[in-house]
Amino acid sequence: MMNIVNKKLNKNQNLAMVIIGDRCVNCNACYVACKTDWEIPAIKEAYRTKVWEIESEDNEGKPTISFLPVLCNHCENAPCVTVCPTGASFKRDEDGIVLVNPDMCIGCKACMVACPYDARYYDEEKQSVDKCTFCLPRLSVGLDPACVDTCVGESRNFGDISDPDSSVAKLLKNATSISRLKEDKGTLPNVYYITINE
Amino acid sequence: MNKVRRYVQTKHKNIWLVLSFCLAAIAIYGITQVFLHGQEASYGVSREVPWGLLIISYSFFVGITLGTAVVGALAHVFKIEDFNIMSKKVALVSLASLVAAFFVIFWDLASPFKFQVLRLVVYFTEFKVTSPIWWLVVLYALELPLLAFEVYFLLSKEKNSALFASLIGSSVGLIAYGVMALVFDSNGSRPLWHTSSFALFFIISAIAGGFSVVLVMIFLNGNTSKYKKPIEALSKTLFFLLTFMFIIDFWNIVINSYSPDTELGSTMRLFQWNGVLGKNFYIYEVFLGIVIPLLLIAFGKFKNPLLSSFAGILSIIGIFFARFDAVIGGQLMSRPSRELDFVQHSYIASNTEISLLIGSFGVAAIVYFLGAKFFNLEEERVDEQA
């Protein structure tokens, strides 16, 4: 297991995931890549990212299906960090990534209950809560997160949104709509869902 | 009943202690399951419902600690003589309940296998003031020695010190239980918990639990004719507290059902008669735990020790169900995004969790009966006024 807690990236970044909603085809490559890269337990409820199916009707009443990739939102106001009694859950100043230090986690699961996005699970083997790290060990060697690398439709995009020249900042600038999940909770998520004109 | 009680008290003084050990031994099943299969495989909790029976039991036991400590404090601090009854035994119950709470929460945390002492050192050097659980641990770590001191001072008949320990202990207990409610109440992701009445109900029902326990203790202790005035005072206070709980429950259901908030609205569907928590709520929490005790106390005109103590037993059961409904109800409905439909999760307590709960009652009983035996409290049946 790599020690991800002390890996440093460039300072003053605002790392974010920008997801182009209608490009996701629910191939679940992201789910598989994440699980294999990080040795997530092979049980259904253990995952760092997954894709939800949303069934609905269009304006003409025809059934439609769309897909919603979800992961930890690495919130600016992360309730999981606020409630953690030991400091095991923390947000890095330098890039805003929210992490769990398994050595400090006492397994009270307050963070799991506090997360409005159901982004965390309990890893029995680690005896700690686990969650998406934006693939910090990959980032520190210059790679994108595994789910971004493997995304066949380029639905998932990752980078520093505070850098105007980054691909994610440009995507946000050119998006026709931008939303984040449960914005009313005041968590200020760092995962953006956009649509673009193509 | 009296014959049986007298027989047990005279011929088989240790039978309660033996029964307590038997009760505690049931937890061995749960502990074995945890060691063999791990917590996640042994408990009924899941990713969506991470808090289950053990957290519920913890909140129940610390509630009994608070309730009994309040009865003691009313007697010592405010000099309400009618509550100054069996004060040593009440303080011992308070302490025993807290030990049971620690036992049950120990098995809920992930780290019964980790090095707890080192963790404790790290814990108190990291001041996480925004975390209700951090405060909870600090306050209950204070509460345990305070209760132990209170018992000690009561036994050594140091009245002023006992008064001081009782005042500080019950104050810390009251704040600690408020923080216990805050663990849930502060959670903006769970609309059922995130209401101002949640903490109020938690605290009021905990105090009601304390009064119920004392009423039951008086009955089991025998010589109820000696305690006519205390029984009346305790019954009237319990009646008032149960009425207050009923009012909070009633208006919570009414107001929350009108909530335009779809998350809260969906959660309230759980509490409809045909909802998964409907029968729990209406039958056990409200009817059995509040309505029947109110009727029993009223029927006995606040003076009948049998009816009042039976009301106490029922209200204790009702309060346990109230904790279950509140803790589980807050977690059963969720959706990660507005675009998704609500998903109703399920929670069924596992045999492992149930055995640990039964065992924790045994642990409380062991602490109580060992304490009573060690300090010779069972002999003090003539005049037990502190």
In a domain, A164, yes or no: yes
Q: Which residue has the higher pLDDT, B260 or B272?
A: B272
Please report which confidence band the pLDDT of residue B54 belongs to, taking 50, 70 and 90 as the band edges. very high
Q: pLDDT band at residue A2, thresholds of 50, 70 and 90?
A: very low
Residue pair A50/A70 in contact by the 8 Å Cβ criterion:
yes
| Higher pLDDT, residue B229 or B83 | B229
- Joined together, the tokens standing for residue A174 give 């050119």
Q: Does A78 touch chain B (CB under 8 A)?
A: no
Residue B309's contacts (CB-CB under 8 Å, 6 or more residues apart) are: B215, B216, B218, B219, B220
pLDDT of B4:
58
What pLDDT score was predicted for residue B327?
96
CA pair distance B353, B364, nearest whole angstrom = 17
pLDDT surpassing 70 at residue B111: no
Residue B379: per-residue pLDDT: 55
- What values do phi and psi take at A85, rounded to 5? -80, -15
How close is the nearest chain A Cα to the Cα of B145, in Å? 22
Write down the pLDDT at residue B257.
Answer: 80
CA-to-CA distance for B326 and B249, rounded, in angstroms? Answer: 11
pLDDT tens digits, one per residue of B296-355: 999 999 989 999 999 999 999 999 999 999 999 999 988 877 777 788 999 999 999 999
Please state the rounded mean pLDDT for residues B371-381: 73
Res B115: pLDDT: 45
State whether residue A184 is helix, strand or coil: helix
Mind listing the pLDDT tens digit for each residue in B138-186? 898 888 899 888 888 888 878 888 888 888 888 999 999 999 999 999 9
Question: What's the pLDDT tens digit per position in B69-84?
Answer: 998 888 777 777 766 6
Of B258, B260, B261, B278, nearest to B270 by C-alpha is: B278
* Mean pLDDT (whole number) for A124-152: 93
Neighbours of B12 (CB within 10 A): 11
Alpha carbon of A138: minimum distance to chain B alpha carbons (Å)? 26
Q: Taking CB atoms and an 8 Å limit, are A106 and B190 in contact across chains? A: no
What is the model's pLDDT at position B229? Answer: 86
Q: What is the pLDDT of residue B122?
A: 63
What is d(CA B140, CA B66) in angstroms, rounded to the nearest whole number?
11
Q: Does A188 touch chain B (CB under 8 A)?
A: no
Contact list in B for residue A69 (CB cut-off 8 A) is none
- CB < 8 Å to B133, chain A: 83, 85, 108, 110
Residue closest to B242 by CA, chosen among B190, B195, B198, B207: B207
When the pLDDT of each residue in chain A is averaged and rounded to a whole number, the result is: 90
What mean pLDDT is predicted for residues B262-278? 88
Instruction: Give pLDDT, residue B267.
Output: 87
Inter-helix orientation angle B53-76/B196-221, to 10°: 70
Q: Are strands A15-20 and A191-195 parallel, antiparallel or unpaired?
A: parallel
The CATH number of residue A74's host domain is 3.30.70.20
Measured between beta carbons, the chain B residues lying within 8 angstroms of A108 are 108-110, 133
Q: How far is CA B301 from CA A179, B274, B306, B308, in A?
A: 62, 36, 12, 9
Q: How far apart are CA B106 and CA B232, in angstroms?
A: 38
User: In whole angstroms, what is the distance from residue B212 CA to residue B227 CA?
Assistant: 15
Query: Closest Cα of chain B to A19: distance in Å?
Result: 14
Nearest to B110 among A85, A106, A121 (CB): A106
- What is the structure's pLDDT at B112? 56
Q: Minimal Cα–Cα distance from B200 to chain A, Å?
A: 21
Strands A156-160 and A89-91: unpaired
How does pLDDT run across A57-72, given as a tens digit for each residue?
A: 888 888 888 899 999 9
* Domain of residue A57, residue span: 15-195
Average model confidence (pLDDT) across chain B? 87
CA distances to B135, B180, B353, B355, B384 from A88, in Å = 16, 20, 26, 30, 49
Residue at token pair 């010190």: B161
- Helix pair B27-37, B87-108: axis angle to 10 deg: 20
Q: What does the H/E/C string look like for A54-81?
A: EEEECCCCCEEEEEEEECCCCCCCCHHH
pTM: 0.90
Nearest CA of chain B to the CA of A4: how many Å?
A: 20
pLDDT attached to residue B138: 87
- Judge: B336–A54 Cβ closer than 8 Å, yes or no: no
CB within 8 Å: A116 and B188 = yes
Domains in chain A, number: 1
Q: Mean pLDDT over residues B265-290, rounded?
A: 92
Q: Give the pLDDT score at B385.
A: 45
pLDDT at residue B40 in the model: 86
- The answer to whether B236 and B208 have CB atoms below 8 angstroms apart is no
Q: Give the residue-averaged pLDDT of B359-371.
A: 94
Q: Does A86 touch chain B (CB under 8 A)?
A: yes
pLDDT band at B382, cuts 50/70/90?
Answer: very low
Give the E-state strand segments of chain B in sequence order. Answer: 333-334, 343-344
* Interchain CB contact of A77 with B (< 8 Å): no
